[in-house]
Amino acid sequence: MSERKVLNKYYPPDFDPSKIPKLKLPKDRQYVVRLMAPFNMRCKTCGEYIYKGKKFNARKETVQNETYMGLPIFRFYIKCTRCLAEITFKTDPENTDYAMEHGATRNFQAEKLLEEEEKRIQQEREEEELNNPMKVLENRTKDSKLEMEVLENLQELKELNQRQALVDFEGMIDQYREMEKREREREKEEDEREMKEMLERALVKRLRESDSDSETEEESSSKQSDKSSSDKPTDILTADKPTEAEGASAGGAKKAKVESWERSVGTLGGKGALGSLVVRKKPAVTVSKPSSVTETAAPISQTDSKPATTDSTDASKPVTTQNGSSSLSLLGAYSDSDSNDSE
C-alpha cells in the first residue's frame, strides 16, 4: 500500500532524458475539461437560460496567434443543455474576465458596458489633466459648483418636507403615555383576577379538607364512644360468673376493689384456667371447744371438703357493684370457711 503514495521515482545512473522520444502533437489540440459557466447566458438557438455556475464537460484549446503580454488565451466549447447547440467563449486576461464569442448572449451586459464607459471617461480626463493644468482648474471649479447645487437642492427638499409634514410631537408623546397607562392598568387587573382565582381555589380546597377532617373526627369519636360503651375484650373471662356471692360466705366477706390484673387474668379461686392452681390446705384434727352441746369432732374427709371448696370459690368470685367495680377477698373467704368447719 505504501508504494502507491510514492511521488519520487527511481532513476538509474545511466538515465539520459534526451533519449526519450518526443510526441509530435498539434498545437491546436483539444482537451476535455470539467468547468462551470463563468457568467449568465442565453442560448441564441432555443432561448434556454444558462445560469452562472452550471457545470459542463467542455473542450479546451489554445487560441492561435493571440496572446496578452505573453499569456496564452484559451477557448472553451460547451453545448446547450436543451438543444445541444455549440457555445464558445474564451478567456480575457486583460479584464480578468471571460469574453463571449458565439452561440449565446451574455446577460447583464448593459451594466458591464456602463462600467466600462465610466472607466474610459475617467481615464481620458486623467490623461487630459496630466498635460493641461488649466483644465485641472476648470474641472475643480465645475465640481465645486455642482456640489453646491446638490446641497442647495437637498436643503430645499428638507424645508419642503418640514412644511408639508405637520407632526405634533407632544401629542404623540401624550398618546404613547396614555397607551402605556392603559397597558399597565390592564396588566394590574389581570394580576388581581388571577390572584382572586387562586385564593378561591385555595379556599375551596381548605374547606374540602376541613370537611373531610371533621368527618374523620366524627367517625373516630363515634368509634371511641362505641368502644368505651362496650366492655373490654378480657371481660369475657369474668362475665359468665355470677355477680352475687353474698350467700356463699358464712360470715359475709368484705367486698374489695378488683385490681387491673384480676380484671384481665381472672380470679385465683375461680373455675377458670387459674382455678386449678389454687390448692386448699387440708386442716389437721379439729379441737373441740366447750359449749352447751358437745359434739365429737370427726376428721374431715376429702369428700367433705369439696362443698367447702365450692363455697370458697363462690366467695372468691368477684362481685360487680352498680358503679362497675368488682371486689375480691381471698383471705376472708378462706378464714370464714375454716371457722365454719371448725364449728
- Backbone phi, psi, residue 85, to 5°: -75, 150
CA nearest neighbour of 47 among 87, 82, 90:
82
Residues 6+ positions from 262 with CB-CB distance below 8 Å: 318, 326, 328
Query: Which of 43-47, 94-98, 125-129, 163-167 has the weakest average pLDDT?
Result: 163-167
Only one residue has cell 373490654, namely 232
Q: Cα separation of 332 and 343, whole Å?
A: 17
pLDDT at 72: 93
pLDDT at 61: 94
Q: Cα separation of 45 and 39, whole Å?
A: 18
For residue 49, the cross-strand partners are 42
CB-based contact 37:52 (threshold 8 Å) = yes
Only one residue has cell 480578468, namely 96
In this predicted model, what pLDDT tens digit does every residue of 65-124 receive, in sequence order?
899 999 999 999 999 999 999 999 999 999 889 999 999 999 887 777 888 899 999 999
Question: What is the DSSP code (8-state) at residue 18?
Answer: G
pLDDT band for position 328 (cuts 50, 70, 90): very low
46 assigned to a ligand binding site: yes
What number of residues does the chain have? 343
296 assigned to a ligand binding site: no
Strand ranges for the chain from DSSP E: 31-36, 41-43, 49-50, 55-68, 71-79, 86-92, 97-102, 104-106, 319-320, 326-327
72 assigned to a ligand binding site: no
Neighbouring C-beta atoms of residue 75, cutoff 10 Å? 20
210 assigned to a ligand binding site: no
* Residue with more model confidence, 321 or 277: 277
Neighbouring C-beta atoms of residue 61, cutoff 10 Å? 17
Helix axes 133-164, 109-131, angle to 10 degrees: 130
pLDDT at 48: 94
pLDDT at 145: 94
Kindly state the average pLDDT of the residues 189-202: 92
**Cα distances (angstroms) measured from residue 293 to each of 285, 337, 342:** 19, 21, 15
Q: Cα separation of 343 and 339, whole Å?
A: 6
Domain ranges of the chain: 31-108
Q: What is the DSSP string of 124-156?
A: HHHHHHHH-HHHHHHHHHHHHHHHHHHHHHHHH
Q: In what order do the strands lie in the sheet with 97-102?
A: 31-36, 55-68, 71-79, 86-92, 97-102
pLDDT at 291: 46
pLDDT at 302 over 70: no
In this predicted model, what pLDDT tens digit does every residue of 154-191 receive, in sequence order?
999 988 887 777 767 788 899 999 999 999 999 999 99
